[in-house]
Amino acid sequence: MNVILTAINAKYIHSNLAVYCLRAFAKPYQDEITVAEYTINQQTDDILMDLYKQKPDLLCFSCYIWNIEYVERILREIKKLFPSLPIWLGGPEVSYDAEQVLLKFPEVTGIMRGEGEETFLELLDHYHGKTEDLSQIQGITYRHRDQITENPWRPVMDLSMVPFVYHHLEDFQNKIIYYESSRGCPFSCSYCLSS
């Protein structure tokens, strides 16, 4: 299976910690997972061409406030190239209102809500035939026949379970790398997606 974790960063010098964490946590499938990083300054057609050349069996996007409009443009076009391709979104920009995102984008198969490492691993198990039904996976909202189904949220995980992702620092030369020592925020401000 060819799984592509797609990150569209604000600038070339940025890296996307989320997709590297997902790949590192999905150890049994690491050889099947490719991280594809782009920037919002690239032409949409160039990204579509690159994704087309990679021929994904499963395509995932990391969605943030700085890239969501760009991701939306790609979503509309990628299904023309791969009509039956399962597409999953994750990240703070789609987690809080997953049902509305699925209503807006019929191209999307589902949303990974909240922390994605365990959810992504279980999704890969599902696509490898180890679980029959998506209803068994916590933290997702997905299409089931003609309905949108929202499974319960996944409990917050112990951050020490996430493997270190920077074993090959040469891959990040001339880039900003990120490291998390905690997730979320202790406050619950109503205007903030991180609360």
> Which tens digits make up the pLDDT trace of 120-175?
999 999 999 998 899 999 999 999 988 999 999 999 888 889 988 888 888 888 88
Residue 146 confidence (pLDDT): 86
Residue 109 — very low, low, confident or very high, per pLDDT cuts 50/70/90? very high
Please give the residue that has the higher pLDDT: either 177 or 95. 95
Q: What is the architecture, at CATH level 2, of domain 3-172?
A: 3-Layer(aba) Sandwich (3.40)
Q: What is the pTM of this model?
A: 0.90
43-52, 75-84, 185-194: lowest mean pLDDT where?
A: 185-194
> Which tens digits make up the pLDDT trace of 10-43?
888 788 889 999 999 999 999 999 999 999 999 9
Domain ranges of the chain: 3-172
Please give the residue that has the higher pLDDT: either 124 or 176. 124
3-state helix/strand/coil string of the chain: CCEEEEEEECCCCCCCHHHHHHHHHCHHHHHHEEEEEEECCCCHHHHHHHHHHHCCCEEEEECCCCCHHHHHHHHHHHHHHCCCCCEEEECHHHHCCHHHHHHHCCCCCEEECCCCHHHHHHHHHHHCCCCCCHHHCCCEEEEECCEEEECCCCCCCCHHHCCCCCCCHHHHCCCCCCCCCCCCCCCCCCCCCCC
